[in-house]
Each structure stands twice: as structure tokens, then as C-alpha cells.
Amino acid sequence: MAKDKTKGEILQEKLARKPQSSGIKMSEQEIAKAFDFCEGYKKFLDAGKTERECAQWAVELLREKGYTPFDPAKAYKPGDKIYLLNRGRALIFAAIGKRPLGDGVKIIASHIDSPRIDLKQSPLYEEAQLAMFKTHYYGGIRKYQWVAMPLALHGVIVKKDGQVVNVTIGEDASEPVFCINDLLPHLAKEQDKRTLAEGIKGEELNVLVGSLPFKDDKVSEKVKLNILRLLSEKYDIIEEDFLSAELCLVPAWGARDIGLDRSMVGAYGHDDRVCAYTSLMACLEADTPAYTWVNVLADKEEAGSDGNTGLASRFLENFICALAAGQKLDGHRVIEKSECLSADVSGAFDPTFPEVNDKRNSCYVGYGAVMSKYTGSRGKAGTSDANAEFVGKIRALFAEHGVDWQASELGKVDAGGGGTVAKFIANLGADVVDVGVPVLSMHSPLEIVGKTDVYSAYKGFLAFVDQS
């Protein structure tokens, strides 16, 4: 017979928060579902290594599911499913719910841009009989992580006549790849004296493109000319076309399972495509909702969300206002009654580097989705800091639907910090809180997430958009 509990044990059981244990409470059957769900996610990651590719992949799926292009002059009714592609780089899609739009909408906002290496507008040059690309990195990267590894070239080139040329080189095993050289250790005495942040400088992120000269003694820069010839033959472009191009270098590998137990996924671009995919799948599951839901896959978050495809712009606001106008409603009043999950990742606790985290307020791989009441840095600068009432509502919603989740903030108070798109939507008047997935090695070329955490985020987003 078990011994009777003491008064203290009873009180502790009743009042104290249960410590996080091994994490997930999923059954074996649900873990199997999580693993299967991540097979589709890995395919999405491999198909979408830029925001344009992610947006196009999503649009094709939406069309298959019966979504039609948004017409701001049209009055939509319950059951209608629409999408708006913003300049090929950002996407909004929505399902019109049974309840009046005046009750507010349920918004999920993630981003589909990821840190990378962009080409400069005049990138191609020759030095020491090597053809090279000059670059300008995009987003918060640790530059040393991007050298001496295979890279693939992705993007678009727009010619003077308006023709758009899509470029992808280095993803197929039969194609060449590119790389950024590093210094050999034998001659790196002075480089080794640099700080880690300056170990590789921005202007040293030069990409190796070729070494074979064009055979003609009467021309200069023969290697560069040979590269231009190859590009002309493959894409019918000239050097001047680089001026109106968006080209970038990304890791030339696909998503892979990590660990002997295959419990994690290693890939480029989890931040924030893991939230884009999980929210997309959740919304497609809830395509006949009570409340109208709006899903945003934004661009530019890694560079501050500025520009007309970032959420510091008005493209989300304009969409909801146009939707409301079709029902003769004030769009801003609709937004003020709306709720939003800012779907973005958080840095997972890494036992190799425990000193940057407050263990009691960190997220862990395998413990479920992450809710962050606030992000920011330096005294919560740059964050919306969700109100307690809304956090309580999401807590209750997740409990009702059996969603594994954990609370977290990004590192110790003075260790650094970061932000999400939450503040831009909060500034419009909606209630917003961050919900996402814990990530190891965030912003590196190989980020890592737990499969059960990915599935927990999907369950949480589904519970949010499927409210009655």
C-alpha cells in the first residue's frame, strides 16, 4: 500500500508548477504521426530555399485545394478561400468563416525568408585566374559558418525586356556547386588573432565560380569571359542583367534526419519555414472555419521586416481592410478585434553552451511548441509583450486540445536577444503572442528541430484557427 501523502506533498501537488520532465506526453501512435508529418516538411524545405520558392510552392498547393486569387472589389462569403501573392515574395491566404467578420479574424503570421549570402549587383570579377562573385550577406549570420562548404545558387534574373529567368544551380547531384574559400591553417597566424566575429569579414565572403580561361589571346579576363559564355548559353543573359537580379547562395544539401533515433531534422531554413509549413498545413485542415482566419507568409523579417513585402509595410492591413470593405465594415475595427499567433522560432537550450540561457526560462528540444510572451532585447526593446489575458486564453486553448508546449524567452536578460513580426501586428491593434518551435544552431547553415516539436506547433496552430 502506498504511504499516505504528507500535507506538504498534497499542497505542492496542488499549487506548484510541475517541472518539465522528458518533454512530450505523446503516445507512440502520435509520435509516429509526428515523424510522418515531418516527411512532408522535409520535402517543403528542399523545394523552397528562398522566399520566392516557398511562396510559389504554397500557391501551387493552395490552387490544388480550391483557393482563388483575391479580388479586393469582391464581397466574400463564408466558405470562400482566397490568396494574395505579394510580388512573388510574400503570401496571404484566408478562409472566410461562418461568423461575422466584425467578430475579428484569427491571424497566423510567419516568415519565409532565411539568412543567406546574396550576390552584389555587380558580382562577377576575375583575380589570379579565378572567377569570383562578390556578395553581401542577408540577415544575422555568423560569417565563419559559411566558408569551405558546398553552396547552391538560387534566384531570378529580370532582363531589360521584362523576361524573368529562374536560376537554380547546385541542387542536383549532376550540377556543380560553389564555395567560399578559407585560409589554410599553415598560413592563418594573423587570421587566428581576429575575434570570432571578425574571423571572416563581410568583404571576404567571395564565392569561387570558375578557373578555366576562354581560349583567345586577344581578350582580357579570360576566366570571367568563359563564365559569362556559360551563363549566356544556359540562361541567355549578359553581365548587365546582374543589375536587375535577385541571386543568393544557400547550402547545397537537403533536409536530413538527425540522430540514431531519427528524432530531429537538420536543414537550412527552419527559421522560419518550420512555422510557415506547420501553419499552412493547419490552416488547410481548417478550411471551413467558424472565424475567418488569415495566414501570412512574410518576407524581409531577417532584415527588419522593412520593404513592401515585409510586415512593417501595410500589405496585411490593406488585405484585411479590403476584405472588411466588401462587407461594409471598418477594417481597422476588425483588426482591433482580431487575435494573432506570431509564428516564429526560439533558440533551444544547448547543453554545450548553457551559460547564455536562464534554464528556468528556456525552451528545450522535445518539450513541445514554444510560447514567448515577449522577445526583444535591452529591457524588452522591440517587442509587443503580449497581455496576460491573451496568454491565458492561448494556455487554455492548448490545454483543451492536448498541445504540448513550453514557455520561453531568448537567452539571459543581458546576453542579447531578437525580435519577430509580433510587434508590427500588435501595432495595428490586434492581440498577439509568439508561438513557434525550438531550434538548435539557429541561423546557421544547418539548423536542427525536434520532430515532435514540429508536430506540436501544427496542433497548436490548428487549435487556434479552428476555434468555434
Domains observed in the chain: 22-114+268-465 (3.40.630.10), 116-251 (2.30.250.10)
Q: What is the pLDDT of residue 17?
A: 79
Q: What is each CA distance from 59 to 36, 67, 230, 277, 396, in whole angstroms?
A: 23, 9, 32, 13, 33
CA dist 56 and 58 (Å) reads 5
Q: What is the pLDDT of residue 1?
A: 45
Residues with Cβ < 8 Å from 468, sequence gap 6 or more? 290
| pTM beyond 0.85 | yes
Q: Could you tell me where the beta strands, DSSP code E, fall in 191-232?
A: 207-210
In 3-state terms, what secondary structure has residue 359? helix
Q: What is each CA distance from 438 to 75, 115, 254, 345, in whole angstroms?
A: 40, 17, 20, 6
DSSP class of 262: -
Q: Nearest CA to 279 among 421, 428, 411?
A: 421
Q: What is the pLDDT of residue 21?
A: 55
Q: Nearest CA to 336 among 248, 431, 264?
A: 431
CB half-sphere exposure, 348, CA atoms < 13 A = 25
**Averaged pLDDT in 10-residue chunks for the chain of 468 residues:** 78 80 76 97 98 98 98 95 98 97 97 98 97 98 97 98 97 97 96 96 98 94 97 97 98 98 98 97 95 98 96 97 96 97 96 93 94 88 92 96 93 87 96 97 98 97 96
Q: What is the pLDDT of residue 328?
A: 95
Q: How many CB atoms lie within 10 A of CB 169?
A: 19
Distance of CA 441 to the CA centre of its chain: 14
